[in-house]
């Protein structure tokens, strides 16, 4: 596997990480949508909120899965088993890398702050669309069905983002 392919898999997920990639992306999009206007002129602050939120929810995810696997096994998990869960769920914080990079570009002045926020959001939307394409590819869907899979994935993801923004305001 080439380095570019490994980077792409890390940033945009793979078959085995699609759940974490979608979950992490929805978290990032919700934070951007809820805080984008309030912190548009403060990309470092918005970046901190994005990263903190994703890390906290990733840790909660790892903790919950650790408890579940411990109860299923009927014993305490070893550190290596917990580390395996953390690695398996790494797609959640990985989904924040590309949008966070866009926010950094705004924070250091390469992009206007508002442009950086929009770019971060667009990267999240592209990630959701890529997961729809990934699903369609695995299912060997026709071109029309692939477009439908992408549209449905985007609609569900963005609806969840809208609900989160609605609840938080």
Q: Residue 7: is its pLDDT beyond 70?
A: no
Interval 50-55 mean pLDDT:
96
Name the packing angle between helices 43-73 and 113-139 (round to 10°).
30
pLDDT, tens digit, for every residue of 132-164?
A: 999 899 899 999 999 999 999 999 999 999 998
Q: Where are the domains of the chain?
A: 17-164
pLDDT confidence of residue 5: 65
- State CA 63 to chain mean position distance: 18
The mean of the pLDDT values for the chain is: 91
| Mean pLDDT along residues 44-61 | 96
Average pLDDT over residues 49-54: 96
- The confidence score (pLDDT) of residue 10 equals 61
Which phi and psi (to 5°) does residue 57 adopt?
-70, -35
Mean pLDDT, residues 70-95 taken together: 95
pLDDT of residue 40: 73
Give the tokens for residue 6: 């490994």
pLDDT of residue 11: 60
d(CA 70, CA 154): 35
């Amino acid at each position: 596997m080439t380095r570019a392919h490994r980077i792409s898999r890390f940033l945009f997920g793979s078959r085995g990480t699609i759940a974490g990639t979608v979950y992490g992306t929805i978290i990032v999009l919700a934070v951007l949508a809820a805080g984008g206007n309030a912190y548009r002129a403060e990309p470092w602050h918005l970046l901190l909120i994005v990263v903190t939120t994703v890390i906290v929810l990733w840790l909660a995810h790892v903790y919950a899965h650790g408890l579940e696997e411990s109860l299923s096994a009927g014993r305490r998990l070893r550190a290596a088993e917990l580390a395996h869960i953390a690695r398996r769920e790494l797609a959640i914080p990985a989904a924040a890398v590309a949008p966070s990079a866009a926010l950094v570009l705004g924070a250091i002045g390469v992009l206007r702050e508002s442009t950086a926020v929009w770019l971060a959001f667009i990267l999240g939307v592209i990630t959701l669309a890529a997961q729809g394409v990934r699903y369609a590819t695995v299912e060997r869907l026709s071109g029309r069905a692939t477009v439908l899979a992408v549209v449905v994935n985007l609609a569900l993801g963005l609806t969840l983002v809208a609900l989160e923004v609605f609840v938080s305001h």
